[in-house]
Amino acid sequence: MSRPRLLAALCGALLCAPSLLVALDICSKNPCHNNGLCKEIAQEVRGDVFPAYTCECLEGYVGSHCELKCAEPLGMENGNIANSQITASSVRVTFLGVQHWVPELARLNRAGMVNAWTPSSNDDSPWIQVNLLRRMWVAGVVTQGASHLANHEYLKTFKVAYSLNGHDFDFIHDVNQKHKEFTGNWNKNTVHVNLFETPVEAQYVRLYPTSCHTACTLRFELLGCELNGCHHPLGLKNNSIPDKQITASSSYRTWGLHLFSWNPSYARLDKQGNVNAWVAGSYDKDPWLQIFPGNWDNHSHKKNLFETPVVARYVRVLPVAWHNRVALRLELLGC
């Protein structure tokens, strides 16, 4: 007999509450969107604070219920992708060596006289690369040209390659399994969006210009999402996690005064004020900060993500190296 029918038979004899059947067979009415696969989590694994199921999303969708399309800007325009993460095969130098059209300028909608990347005119196979620092789904690219000496400069066509290690690259393919050539721009400012047929898992992404107008000048943004949808702030910054749920191995007191204690409850991302972080006591040789997350669901900030999410009720941050003192503000990400 199937599990739901067996439970129904037992409950028919024992007068169980109607909600019990729903709780024990939560996936029967699939709560996952966009054809996501619902998987129940055993009670002994989830304890009393975790949801009864998870959703495994198809490629291209994220979120706790696979409700989000994987096409978020990854950080070129807003600066979340740092300058050091952007490299290129070469750089154009103009105006008697004063103007350098370096790769870190290749940010969508960047303003200024020198506001984009252009390769050297001697570069026969130019490329620009972004290191995302971790594996992510990359779902597309937004491109834009720029101007130089009143001339419109832009990519007319380009190819995209991706890699997990920065050495071995694969190109996006078309339906004939040939390197896909994407359509670029037609003037200096209008943006053009190209979405891939299927998001690719990548840490490194390269754009290869194949035909250009005047020069291969580029501003762009990458579109995609995290490998899993489980990366929402859990409540440190917005105080959903209350002070009493945050403990630490010790706390530092400036001048030994209680008024100036750097308490663990101050370890909240972006906390302001003169005393605005957790600092371990100067005598503490093995400092740690422990957080008891009560709820989930919020909005994000700069991230370091685990390769695979962990199921946890208690989380400790163990400082390994620090400058002057162990001082910390943070947010936890999960779902």
Q: Is the pTM of this model over 0.75?
A: no
The DSSP line for 153-207 is EEEEEEEEEEESSSSS-EE-B-TTSSBP-EE--SSSS--EEEEEEEEEEEEEEEE
- The more confidently predicted of residues 191 and 23 is 191
Taking residues 38-44, report their average pLDDT. Answer: 78
Note the pLDDT tens digit of each residue in 153-202. 999 999 999 999 999 999 999 989 999 999 999 999 999 999 998 899 99
CATH fold label, 72-226: Jelly Rolls (2.60.120)
Asked if residue 116 lies in contact with residue 128, where contact means CB atoms within 8 angstroms, the answer is no
The domain spans of the chain are: 3-67, 72-226, 230-335
**Does the fold of domain 230-335 match that of domain 3-67?**
no
36 Cβ contact list (under 8 Å, min separation 6): 30, 55, 56, 57, 58, 61, 65, 66
- Please name the CATH architecture into which domain 230-335 falls: Sandwich (2.60)
User: Please, which pLDDT band fits residue 51 given cuts at 50, 70 and 90?
Assistant: low
Architecture of domain 3-67: Ribbon (2.10)
101, with CB counted inside 10 A (0-12, 13-18, 19+), is buried
